[in-house]
């Protein structure tokens, strides 16, 4: 999955690179064809947000870093789009926060699970969960409910980027602290999140990692303050305002 040659000066460099990565993900059996549609939806919102990390999304990334650092057991959930777009960045975030990585698919097939686990390992991941699938998220049908009992099943904090709304809601109902990355502030996933990061995953994951590195020596009290100060509803409103006003 080598990146094609796109000159960095191209005005739509990031967008073209992203498309290419998703396309290559589909070809490699990592991303489902439905992932192409999800990417298209995301791109439209990114365009309206100005293709940049807005201040409220940066605050959310900092709050997410504080949650991950303070967690007893944090898990980063990886689906086919996440694996295609930010495999190395997810491995860096896991290293910066001590979180586990778990592959968790809406359209689960053994083949795709294995392809994603291998892809993450190629990017430096050591232990990737998800293949055991001995736990269940209550309230979802069998295939969509599968998780590892000692992974997402036992986690107190879960990062679920680009998640389907039903599963995001079901995870939140389990009492987990849910950190969501989703460009659509109106999606059910973003609405269900303790911390919704309304930003492109390409920018958001490295940004959470940068905040986590900066907060590595923060005290428990400082981390708690950052978590408490974050207002999810205000962050969603700020993103929606930005989309509606086009940055005015």
Residue 45 binds to ligand ATP (criterion: CB under 6 A): yes
Binding-site member from 64, 99, 113, 162 for ligand ATP (CB under 6 A): 162
Binding to ligand ATP (CB under 6 A): which residues in 19-38? 38
Give the residue with the Cβ less far from ligand ATP, 189 or 207: 189
Q: How far is the CB of 24 from ligand ATP (least distance, A)?
A: 15
Q: Residue 209 interacts with ligand ATP (CB under 6 A)?
A: no
- The region of 53-61, 70-78, 181-189, 213-221 touching ligand ATP under the rule CB under 6 A is 181-189
Cβ contacts of residue 113 below 8 Å, gap of 6+? 103, 105, 130, 131
Q: Does 172 bind ligand ATP (CB under 6 A)?
A: no
Q: Does 181 bind ligand ATP (CB under 6 A)?
A: yes
Residue from 77, 184, 194, 207 binding ligand ATP (CB under 6 A)? 184
What DSSP line would sit under 74-89, residue for residue? EEEEE-HHHHHH-HHH
Work out the end-to-end distance of the chain between its first and last CA atoms, rounded to an integer number of angstroms.
Answer: 39
**How far is it, in rounded angstroms, from Cα 179 to Cα 160?**
6
CB of 187 to ligand ATP, least distance (A): 3
CA–CA distance, 206 with 188 (Å, rounded to integer)? 24
Residue 42 contacts ligand ATP per CB under 6 A: yes
CB-CB contact of 181 with 162 (8 Å): yes
Residue 230 found at the interface with ligand ATP (CB under 6 A): no
Rule CB under 6 A: is residue 212 a binding residue for ligand ATP? no
Mapped onto helix, strand or coil, the DSSP state of residue 151 is coil
The H-assigned helical ranges of 71-200 are 80-85, 87-97, 110-122, 142-145, 165-173, 188-192
Contact residues toward ligand ATP (CB under 6 A) are 38-39, 41-42, 45, 85, 162, 164-165, 181-184, 187-189, 200-201
């Amino acid at each position: 999955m080598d990146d094609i040659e796109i000159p960095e000066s191209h005005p739509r460099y990031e967008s073209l690179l992203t498309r290419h990565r998703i396309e290559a993900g589909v070809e490699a059996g990592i991303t489902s064809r439905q992932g192409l549609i999800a990417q298209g939806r995301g791109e439209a919102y990114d365009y309206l947000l100005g293709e940049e990390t807005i201040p409220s999304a940066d605050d959310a990334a900092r709050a997410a870093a504080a949650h991950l650092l303070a967690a007893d057991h944090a898990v980063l959930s990886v689906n086919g789009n996440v694996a295609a777009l930010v495999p190395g960045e997810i491995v860096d975030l896991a290293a910066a926060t001590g979180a586990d990585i778990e592959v968790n698919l809406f359209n689960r097939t053994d083949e795709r699970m294995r392809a994603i686990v291998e892809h993450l390992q190629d990017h430096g991941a050591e232990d990737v969960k998800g293949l055991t699938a001995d736990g269940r998220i209550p309230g979802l049908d069998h295939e969509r409910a599968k998780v590892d009992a000692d992974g997402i099943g036992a986690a107190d904090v879960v990062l679920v980027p680009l998640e389907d709304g039903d599963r995001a809601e079901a995870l939140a109902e389990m009492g987990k602290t849910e950190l969501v990355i989703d460009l659509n502030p109106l999606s059910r996933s973003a609405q269900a999140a303790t911390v919704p990061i309304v930003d492109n995953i390409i920018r958001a994951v490295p940004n959470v990692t940068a905040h986590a590195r900066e907060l590595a020596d923060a005290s428990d009290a400082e981390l708690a303050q950052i978590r408490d100060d974050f207002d999810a509803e205000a962050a969603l409103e700020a993103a929606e305002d930005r989309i509606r006003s086009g940055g005015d």
